[in-house]
Amino acid sequence: MSPGAQQSDGPAAPPLRKDAERNRERIIAAARSVFARDGLSASMASVAREAGVGIATMFRRFPTKEELVDAVFSDRMDAYADAVTLALEDPDPWHGFVGYIETACAMQAADNGFADVLTMTFPTAKVLEQRRNEAYQAMLRLIDRAKATGRLREDFDPSDLVLIHMANAGVVNATGDAAPDAWRRVVALMIQSLEAPARGPLPASPGREPLYKAMLRVGQGATTPPPGKSS
């Protein structure tokens, strides 16, 4: 390479790095807006349009939708995990348990994308899944504490929290801005059904493993475009 070429290449590199970082930030901001409005079914192309970048730029920054989901929702998952920690610090375990459910469901209602995230799993989204697993371990302690008070029904299973999030996400997505507070009534009904003494026995829990498979299947459906269509 000639000295002239070295001289012209040197100054050009830093602006390219800055441009790349700006594009990344624009894409994340756009994805937050698009996913919050349309959920995770929104396409990568729609995010690129919102960000004002080409689809090639989009895929250079985020080769897969799971990587974009990881970047967009890591802070939301941090807040979700913090809600569990706060619930554990409540001197009244039942109050802490109820407060956690209300907070998590409110987070779903405020963001259609996050409503979907809590009902799916994304194995390659390492940061997101690590925080989810940390929150799950804390929730196990929260459930045990609430049961120890005698306020939470004994047959409540940790997998029931996943069902609550799935039910809430369905209500949020179905009612939208036509009845934006409908989820509050549904959550209140669910909470009342959890309090001891139980009004009757429950059907068997599906268990964590089958629900994980369901969350994985739904997550794959949200991040993989249908045949013949681009993401």
Using alpha carbons, list the distances in angstroms from residue 106 to 20, 116, 169, 192: 34, 13, 10, 17
Token pair in block for residue 90: 């409540």
- Predicted TM-score of the model (pTM): 0.81
Provide the greatest CA pair distance for the chain. 83
> What's the pLDDT band for 225 if we cut at 50, 70, 90?
low
Percent of the chain with pLDDT over 70: 88
Residue 153 near residue 191 (C-beta atoms within 8 A): no
Residue range 70-87: average pLDDT?
Answer: 94
Task: Look at 94-98, 178-182, 225-229 and tell me which has the smallest mean pLDDT.
Answer: 225-229
Q: Where are the alpha helices (DSSP H) in 149-181?
A: 159-175
Q: What is the pLDDT of residue 190?
A: 96
Nearest to 195 by CA among 161, 147, 144, 139: 147
- The DSSP call for residue 152 is B
In this structure, the number of other CB atoms found within 10 A of the CB of residue 18 comes to 10
183-195 per-position pLDDT tens digit: 999 999 999 999 9
In whole angstroms, give the CA distance from residue 185 to residue 182: 6
Answer whether the bond into residue 197 is a cis peptide, omega within 30°: yes
* Statement: residue 219 has pLDDT above 80: no
Can you say whether the dihedral through the CA atoms of 171, 175, 180, 185 is positive or negative? negative
Residue ranges and CATH numbers for the domains of the chain are: 15-63 (1.10.10), 73-223 (1.10.357)
Answer for the pair 93, 146: CB distance below 8 angstroms, yes or no: yes
